[in-house]
Amino acid sequence: MDLDFTVDTDHRKRRRNRTTQSCLNCHTSKRKCDRKRPCQRCIQLGLTGLCVYEIDDPALRDDPTIDEATRLRNRIAELESLVRELRGAYMLLL
């Protein structure tokens, strides 16, 4: 009796090629995202300008009338505020 066994030598898991549906803030912190633009969690944290998705479709945003320059100015202001907060927290640790 001759039994032929085939052995699968590639034991690596295959990765799915899917885009992340939640915003990058929720995804990186592993929190539930409601997938709105901006999502409720980012609104509560005051990160509306930082609520971005892997595939960012401007048509899905709440206010498509805001032009790109205004959106970028708002985002710069939020980032500068965040840097100031982090610097203050860092100085308290010293």
Give pLDDT, residue 62.
59
Res 94: pLDDT: 79
Counting as low any pLDDT under 50, the low residues of the chain are none
Q: Which amino acid is at 11?
A: H
pLDDT of residue 50: 84
Measured CA to CA, the distance from residue 26 to residue 42 in angstroms comes to: 8
Q: Is the pTM of this model over 0.95?
A: no
